[in-house]
Amino acid sequence: MSQDLDLPAVDTAAFACTPHFDDGKLSVTFSGTGDVAAIEVLSGYLTLVHVEAERLNLSEVTCDFRKLSFMNSSCFKAFVVWIDTVKNATRSYRIRFLTDPDMHWQRRSLEALRRLATSVVSVEG
């Protein structure tokens, strides 16, 4: 079974998901605006992230939000679903969010995600 990452980047007009896989560590950079146009893309992408995290037996996935200017509640919910899935999986992994302190909504929204699964989620920045 290949240990290479099978997760393409996705880039729409206003929203992008860009994976980085190095030395067995997966990081996904989310950029642009997570609004109604991004919901389906994001939901599908997080499903793929989970599949790869399980296939590669990863201990952690990093989500870099520092280039994400805004995220609506539907995109927020996509992360809720993902985190809930990981929390209840047989073998879970950690999800680490990197935030920009100047984007104040990130601190508040991601703290709420952290409370959903404190054993899974951490927030930095």
Partner 1 sequence: MSGAAEKPLVSLEVSFAEAPPQGMVTPLCQSLLELCRPIFQDEDAAARLRLTAHELLENVVKYSAETACELRFELRSTAAGALSALVQTRNVPRAQNRQDAGERLAALTAASDPHEHYDSIIADSARQPAGSGLGLARIHAETEYRLSHRFEGNALLSWRAARFG
| Site of interaction with partner 1 (CB under 8 A) | 14, 33, 35-37, 70, 72-74, 76-77, 80-81, 83-84, 102-105, 108-109, 112-113, 115-116
User: Helix (H, G, I), strand (E, B), or coil: what is residue 22?
Assistant: strand
The phi, psi pair for 27, rounded to 5°, reads -130, 135
Under a CB-based contact definition with an 8 Å cutoff, are residues 56 and 3 in contact?
yes
Look-up of token digits 């997760």 = 7
Least distance between partner 1 and beta carbon 74 (Å): 8
Q: What's the length of the chain?
A: 125
24 versus 70: smaller Cβ distance to partner 1 = 70
Least distance between partner 1 and beta carbon 36 (Å): 5
57 versus 88: smaller Cβ distance to partner 1 = 88
Say if residue 5 is exposed, middle or buried (CB neighbours under 10 Å; 0-12, 13-18, 19+).
Answer: middle
19 versus 34: smaller Cβ distance to partner 1 = 34
5 versus 103: smaller Cβ distance to partner 1 = 103
Least distance between partner 1 and beta carbon 68 (Å): 13
Under a CB-based contact definition with an 8 Å cutoff, are residues 113 and 121 in contact?
yes
Least distance between partner 1 and beta carbon 18 (Å): 21
